[in-house]
Amino acid sequence: MASEVKVPTLGESVTEGTIGEWLKKPGDPVKVDEPIASLETDKVAVEVPSPVAGVIGELKAEVGDTVEVGAVIATVEDDVAAGESTKVAPREQDAAQAETKASSPPPAAAKEAAPGDTQTLSPAVRRAVLEHGVDPSTIKGTGKDGRLTKEDVLAAAEAKKSDGGTVEDAAPDQAKAASPAPAATGERREERVKMTRMRQTIARRLKGAQENAALLTTFNDCDMSAVIEAREKYKDLFAKKHDIKLGFMGFFAKAACLALKDVPSVNAYIEGDEIVYHDYVDISVAVSAPNGLVVPVIRDAQAKGFAQIEKDIADFGKRARDGTLTMDDMKGGTFTISNGGVFGSLMSTPIINPPQSAVLGLHRIEDRPVAIDGKVEIRPMMYIALSYDHRLIDGREAVTALKIIKEAIEDPTRMLIDL
């Protein structure tokens, strides 16, 4: 008896998605709730689980097909039915057995991988495995249900390098298979790749922001000495008590809450001919994911402490890399913080995340000479930028909000006494 695999509910106002990748093929065994396909929506990649245990039967959609919520995309047969449907002629069976023997791993490798220990790899993990030539069956996964993450693969690759050999030496066959043939001298190549659904949505929203909002950016710089000193002084105690590292984003999130409280228009947005103000701060944090930029939301940031904010950010980052963020994680948001500094950016003009009216851009910290009390000193400085919708936010308000953030970072005590 075959069971149908249907497209699950994808979130509010999302009625369809695109088959990004089949994680299982016909004939593969599958467990209950084991992912069999990756489905791309406008905001996230969603894994489609199997409703029953059995064997994959027919795939009713191909990669790139658009499917609606509730549509049947595959069937799963029970073990008995699958066994009967997969019987082959003796000659074909002999050929299959010969092929299996030829492709079987050596005994040593068979011992390393437990019987039946097949892993479902996400696209990002699969790319990392091919790129670095590591054996996924020898790596212990730290993701949900023991699944491999990209970081697990990178760590394994680094471990092999530190053991005195290169990754290519450890797995020459995989490296050769993953490396494209070198182009002939003077040959010019082109490759056309269809944009993912998420990338199309990102492009459409960002272009819409430029067309529908009066964008302007104001800049400032802040001395990071006080924050760096506080982190250095309390990092061990903080980590011991809260089981999370004390990062920079917690400071900027709390500083932003101060600014948005004093300048409420920066935390508002335009809807029709009305302005919608908020008495809470839901901060969207821009996070880099394998398929593009996503912006999960820290709810009620104004009511959370540093530890909870840091835990939320760390959780979002991990789930973004693993591809397990949900639509609800990214719903809403009244203000955005984007940290280009982690990639080395010195300065930028970030684009707002509609329908929000402002976004704070953070950048890399570098030692620069600054004048302090008439003397030139070397301080760790960061350029910060606030892009805003000038239809709603006046220049005075934008500059004031950014100045409040600067002052709170340079004197973190202000965040404790609400100044």
Residues with active-site annotation: 390, 394
How many Cβ atoms sit within 10 Å of the Cβ of residue 95? 12
Local structure of 45: helix, strand or coil: strand
Q: Which of 385, 378, 380, 383 is nearest to 346 (CA)?
A: 383
Burial of residue 407 (CB within 10 Å: 0-12, 13-18, 19+) is middle
The CA distance from 52 to 59, in Å, is 16
Residue 115 parent element (H or E): none
Contact 69, 41 (CB under 8 A): no
* Residue that the structure tokens 């800049």 belong to: 219
Of the candidates 68, 352, 40, 27, the one whose C-alpha atom is nearest the C-alpha of residue 208 is: 352
Residue 358 to residue 265: CA distance in whole angstroms: 9
Q: Are the C-beta atoms of 214 and 370 separated by less than 8 Å?
A: no
Q: For 38, how many CA atoms within 13 A lie in the half-sphere containing its CB? A: 20
Coil/strand/helix, residue 122: coil
Structure tokens at 302: 């104004």
| DSSP SS3 for 289 | strand
The gap from C-alpha 367 to its chain's centroid, in whole angstroms, comes to 30
Q: Are 254 and 306 in contact (CB under 8 A)?
A: yes
CA pair distance 242, 339, nearest whole angstrom: 23
Residue 69 and residue 46 in contact, taking contact as beta carbons nearer than 8 Å: no
DSSP 127: H
Strands (E), 34-178: 35-40, 45-49, 54-59, 66-68, 72-77
Contacts of 343 (CB under 8 A, 6+ apart): none
